[in-house]
Amino acid sequence: MTQKHSAIAGKMRFFIYSSILWIAFLLPLNSHAQTDSTKKATQLQEVQIREYRLTEQSKSPTPVQILSAEDLKRINSLSVADAIRYLSGVQLKDYGGIGGLKTVNVRSLGTNHTAVFLDGIQIGNSQNGQVDLGKFSLNNLEEIALYSAQKPELLLPAKGYASASSIYLKTKEPDFEKNENQKIELGLKAGSFGLINPSLVYLYKINDKLHASINTEYINSDGKYKYRYTNGVFDTTAVRNNGDVERFRLQAALFGKLRNGKWNVQAYSFLSDRGLPGAIVANRFDFTQRIWDRDFFVQGSAEKKLSDKFTVLLNGKYTYSYQRYLDPDYVTTTGFLDNRFKDQEAYLSVSGKYRISPIWEAAYASDYTYQTLDANIYRFAYPSRNSFLNVLSSSLTLEQFNVQASVLSTSVYDRVKVYSSSGNKQVFSPTVMLSWKVFKHHDIRIRAFYKDIFRMPTFNDLYYTFIGNTLLRPEYTKQYNVGVTYFKNFNNRKLKFIDIQSDIYYNRIKDKIVAQPGANLYRWIMYNIGLVDIRGLELNAKTAFEPLNHLVVNLGVNYTYQKAVDVTSKQQETYKDQIPYIPKNSGSFLAKLDYHQWHANYGFIYTGFRYNQKANNIYNYMEPWYTHDAAIGYEFKLKKGSININGEINNLLNQYYDLIPNFPMPGRNYRLTLNYKI
C-alpha cells in the first residue's frame, strides 16, 4: 500500500476508534438493575416466543427455517453468512477468510435468486445482485428466517413476492420492563488471524411511543492462516496473504407507535478496507489487489390499520454504494487498474390488505425502483434501470385449510448512455401455496406450492467491460414443492417438543445464468445454461429434552439431497451432468446444552463432492468436506449487569478444504467472546 493509502487507512482507524469512544462516553450508564423477579419474567417471555415461532414454522405453506436470537448467540458464527451454513438446502460460497466475499445459493437456483431483507425492506445491489452476508453482524438481530418461495403473508411489498427464496433479517426492537428506560450490551471478540471485534448495542426509551437503538462494531484481522496446496506432484503448507480486513459499521434506528399502527426509520453506514485473496494457481501465493467499500442507506417503514378491514404498508429507501478496486499487477496504458463504482438506488413501495370476510383476504402491492451505476472504466455503458413490480394476492383460511395465490407483474426498462442495452422486459409470474392440517387435534400438515419467477441479469452480468455479456438471456424458473410437517409440544415433561419438516421439490430453470470465477474476484465468465432440472429432498428435525434436573439438551439435524443437472440437449457432452458447485448430499447437526449458568454447543457441517465446471470429470472434481465446531460458555452476574464468557474452537479437526476451487479455507481457529449487559 502506498503512503497515501496508509494515511487514509490511518485516518479511517482514528475515525473508527474516536466514534466508538465518543458513543460510549455519551451513553448514560445508570440503567436500572433488574430484579430477580424481572429476570424470571423475561426468561418466561423468551420461552413463550420460541414455542410460538416453532408452531408458525409448522403452519407455513412454504418451507421456513428460523434461527432465533438465542440460536445466533450459541452457534459459532461471526456473521450472518456463518449462521446460515446450518440451514438445509443452502450452499455457502465463501472465498476465504473474514474479509472474503460470502454469498448463499438456495436449492441450486443461484445466489441472485435469493433476496435478502432487513426489517422487511430488500437489501439491493444493482451492480452484481449479490449481497455479501459477511457484512452483516449478529449482535443486534432478533432472528434470521429463510423462506423458500416467499413469506406466507399478504401484507408485503411487491419485492417480497419477486424472488425464488428470501432471507429475512430482523433487528431487535427495544423492549423495556416497567421502570426501565435503557439497555446496554458491550461485546468483544478476539481470536485467530489477529481478530479484534468490539461491539456496542444501546437501546433507549424516549417515551412510551418512541424508542431508539444504536449499534456499532469494528472488525480488524490480518487474515493470515495456514493452508495446504498441491499441484499434483508435491504438497506444501503455505500462509494465506492479502486477506486482511478492517471494517466499521454503524446503525441507528427509531421505532414508533401509531394509533392502530407502527413505524420505524433507520440509517446504516458501512466502511471497509480489505485485501482480495486470489486464486492459488500456477504456484502463485502472493496477491496485492484491494477493495474499499463505502455503503450507506436510509430506510423507513410505516404500517397502519385504517379500519377493521383495511391495513396499509409504506416502505421507502435510498442506497448509495461506493467501491474502489485496485490491481497493481494489472498495468494498463494509463497505469495500474484502478476501478471505481458508484451505485445508487431509490425505492418506494405501497401495499394494502383488505379483509373481505373472516376467512377471505386480498392484497395489492406496487413497488418502484430506480438504479444507476457509474464507473471510471473505458467503454463503460453507464446503465440505469427502472423496475416496476405489481402484485395482486389473495388468501382463504378455513379451520384446517389455507390457500394463497398471487400474480406478479415485472416490468424492467434498461437505458445506457453508450453502446447497446439488453432491452425492456415485461413478465407475469403466478404463485399458489396451500397448507392442510390433516387431523383436527394433531399438528400434522401437508403443504405445497408452485411458483413461477423471473430474474433479469445484473449490471455486471450485462455491461461490465471485462465480464459483461449483453447477449445474456433472463432466467425463467418454475418451482414445485410438496412437504409434510409435524409439531408437538410436551409442556413440562422431560421431552419438551418435537418439530419435523420434510419437503421434496422440483425446479426447472430456463437459461440459467452461471458466473464462473477466474484468477481473482473481479475476473468472471458469464454464460447461460439452456435448461436445468433440479430435484431435491430436505429433512429438518428439532427436539429438546431434560434428562437431568436443570440440564436441557437441544438437538437439530438438517439433510439435503439435490440432483441439479444440465438437460439442454442430448447431443452435448455435459447432458445430465451435475451443474457446477452443487453437491448431491449435504447436511448439518447442532447440539446445545444448558446447565445452570453453563452452556455448550457442538456443530457439524458436511458437504459432499461436487464439480467446478460443467463437465463432470476427474479434472473438475472437488472433494467432500466437513467441519466440527465446539464452544463452551459461562454467564454470571456482576453488580447491576451480567457477563457472558464464551470460548470457541472452529474446524476442530483442522481439515483443509475449498468451497470455491483454489480459494482455500482456514484450518483450526479459535475465538473468545466477552459480553457485558446492563
CATH code of the domain containing 373: 2.40.170.20
pLDDT band at residue 14 using 50, 70 and 90 as cut-offs:
very low
Whole-number average pLDDT of the chain: 84
DSSP assigned state of 12: H
Give pLDDT, residue 380: 81
As a whole number, mean pLDDT of residues 473-481 equals: 89
The β-bridge relationship of strands 165-171 and 114-118 is parallel
3-state SS, residue 99: coil
Residue 304 pLDDT exceeds 80? yes
Q: Taking the CB of residue 236, how many other CB atoms lie within 10 A of it?
A: 11
As a whole number, mean pLDDT of residues 357-383 equals: 91
**Spatial contact of 200 and 7, defined as CB atoms under 8 Å apart:** no
518-531 per-position pLDDT tens digit = 544 555 566 677 88
Residue 560 pLDDT exceeds 90? yes
State percent of the chain over pLDDT 90: 49
**Spatial contact of 580 and 539, defined as CB atoms under 8 Å apart:** no
Instruction: Report the C-alpha gap between 133 and 662 in whole angstroms.
Output: 21
Range in 2-6, 302-306, 622-626, 659-663 the model is least confident about: 2-6
Cell 433479517 locates to: 169
User: Cα–Cα distances in Å, from 508 out to 9, 87, 194, 452, 485?
Assistant: 47, 22, 45, 10, 24
Instruction: Report the C-alpha gap between 652 and 553 in whole angstroms.
Output: 21
Instruction: Report the C-alpha gap between 553 and 544 in whole angstroms.
Output: 5
Range in 39-43, 298-302, 479-483 the model is least confident about: 39-43
Q: What pTM, to 2 d.p., does this model score?
A: 0.86
DSSP assignments along 239-302, one per residue: E--S--EEEEEEEEEEEEEETTEEEEEEEEEEEEEEE------TT------EEEEEEEEEEEEE
Give pLDDT, residue 159: 94
Residue scoring higher pLDDT (394 or 512): 394
Give pLDDT, residue 460: 66
Strands (E), 456-523: 475-489, 495-517
Which residue in 125, 98, 97 sits closest to 112, CA to CA? 125
Instruction: Report the C-alpha gap between 375 and 558 in whole angstroms.
Output: 43
As a whole number, mean pLDDT of residues 282-310 equals: 91
Q: Count structural domains, the chain.
A: 1
135-188 per-position pLDDT tens digit = 787 888 889 999 998 899 999 999 999 999 999 999 888 888 888 899 999 999
Range in 63-67, 245-249, 505-509 the model is least confident about: 63-67
What is the domain range of residue 538? 3-677
Q: Which residues, 6+ apart, have CB-to-CB distance to 168 below 8 Å? A: 117, 120, 143, 144, 145, 146, 147, 151
